[in-house]
Structure 1
């Protein structure tokens, strides 16, 4: 039954039989058979079928909610039993907003030093995608903004508050000042993160509050790309202070503070709300708390 529920979750996530089968490492006929057997066991039609996947039926949508709960509980039980046999061990899947990757590294490396039998997969994702991946059980936790857009029912641990800097070449006029106001960037040649990133929406809000509407002539979902554009051309970008200093270290680039405007956005660890937590996830939450204390 658990394997068939995982098939339903994968199909709802991928919305395509072939891709769902591939994500599970099984063949498409095996997936189709498993879904049909699940429908027979539950006595309802779960999937609308035609020449292709047509979505979940209303009964399928309700079954999906319970499937996520059952599969999640089963995975947590397995983790608890393994911890009782082997101590803290296993694998954690973490999705992180691009601007928080340096903090993710601090969290992961510190955790790994204390718990060497736990391995990690760390992915760079937009904040909305992180929430979706948590719902679909694709990840165990994420690092994202905590107070800008609705998170749903999750557990959070604050890591830091984000302050912004302008990155430019040392010979750029902006490099001459100690700090720059957001309103001074109205005519700047900007390269910024893509609009699907919450960081970009925060930056756009700062511009709106300053009464300017500069256009980003280059957009990317990679902060490395943004820093490289500044290094090789007459561009400027806006990055969180900690990330800007990491990317610019040892390079002919200037990092200039931007004037504070309103409350600094909070960034932290988010995890599914559950009681009790698995031993590995509880240890990760504790590690995040330690980083917060260190920052303060």
Structure 2
């Protein structure tokens, strides 16, 4: 059985569209369709429901998909192990990161490339659920995500830091003389926050509910950069992880304040799929996570 046929099958399941799957595999659509037909003939089972377009996987296709994904990952791991037995690690490490962890990406990448200068890093901004799914489908080598709330399963985790939230308002919006803020005065502001599909927002809402509060933001986004841009433009305030304050220039437009009664910190860490043997890229990611030297702001939570 040719590995390429399995790659066609996995790409179609991921993309849900023949043309996009063919483009992802750098082949023509007829080549991909012929390859899928050949795979079905070898297995003696129909894997894909199709008419003139992709409809979905058959029951047999859904059952076969995890094995195809695992077979591809195992061959990739075999090639990496053979290639790096006497030389540096090459290739691209695929990292998924929740938006809250994006400031950590720079520290992780620096530690990774210090030990593996021939590696490149491909970073995708994903939700915690998407990271868990992509690790299970062997579409990521590692993830940066929450470890305690809706924790990912079947992973090896390295805790990196405890996330604290801070309030960000535009200078001149009424908070210039404050050293801290109280939750009632924060919730009285026009807020922009992450949307409810993001785990950070679900954690935030749960902590608010535990204190008898609820929030009704005037704008939502899936990016902290978008939230900060709305605050800078005026008319909104927001709540962001403390790590993002390092990206805001001092003496700038922003007034950044801690909470007088902060919520409990949330642990964020690096995760890789717990499987044996572990891939070379997963091992490199774990080593980099353990080697990260964090700035004082992270160490202090």
SS in 2 for 1:86: coil
Q: Corresponding residue for 1:212?
A: 213
Q: 2:242 aligned with 1:269, yes or no?
A: no
Bigger mean CA offset, 137-146 vs 206-215? 206-215
TM-superposition CA deviations, 1:98-141 (whole Å, max 9, x none): 12111111010122123211111112222222222223332211
TM-superposition CA deviations, 1:190-211 (whole Å, max 9, x none): 0111222111111222222232
Q: Corresponding residue for 2:52?
A: 51
Q: Corresponding residue for 2:186?
A: 185
- For 2:62 and 2:207, the matched residues in 1 are separated by 39
TM-superposition CA deviations, 1:115-172 (whole Å, max 9, x none): 2111111122222222222233322111111121141212211111111000012323
- For 2:270 and 2:17, the matched residues in 1 are separated by 31
Q: Corresponding residue for 2:224?
A: 223
- For 1:151 and 1:282, the matched residues in 2 are separated by 18
TM-superposition CA deviations, 1:233-286 (whole Å, max 9, x none): 031110011113323545221111124555421111111112232333212201
Q: 2:27 aligned with 1:22, yes or no?
A: no
1:119-198 superposed matches below 5 A: 119-198=120-199
Structure 2: gaps (5+ residues): none
Shift of 1:217: 0.9
SS in 2 for 1:216: coil
Shift of 1:290: 2.5
Q: In the alignment, is the contact (CA less than 8 A) between 1:160 and 1:292 conserved in 2? A: no
Bigger mean CA offset, 128-137 vs 5-14? 128-137
Shift of 1:73: 0.8
- Following superposition, which runs of at least 4 residues in structure 1 exceed 6 angstroms of deviation? none
SS in 2 for 1:159: strand
TM-superposition CA deviations, 1:4-41 (whole Å, max 9, x none): 11111111111111111122221111111111111111
Q: In the alignment, is the contact (CA less than 8 A) between 1:95 and 1:143 conserved in 2? A: yes
Q: In the alignment, is the contact (CA less than 8 A) between 1:95 and 1:130 conserved in 2? A: yes
Shift of 1:82: 0.9
Q: In the alignment, is the contact (CA less than 8 A) between 2:146 and 2:267 conserved in 1? A: yes
1:103-122 superposed matches below 5 A: 103-122=104-123
- For 1:83 and 1:134, the matched residues in 2 are separated by 22
TM-score by length of 2: 0.91
TM-score by length of 1: 0.92
Seen in structure 2, the aligned counterparts of structure 1 residues 249 and 89 have a Cα distance that, compared at 3 Å, is farther
Shift of 1:179: 2.2
Instruction: Identify, as 1 or 2, the structure richer in helix.
Output: 1
Q: Corresponding residue for 2:35?
A: 34
Seen in structure 2, the aligned counterparts of structure 1 residues 86 and 165 have a Cα distance that, compared at 3 Å, is same
RMSD: 2.0
Structure 1: gaps (5+ residues): none
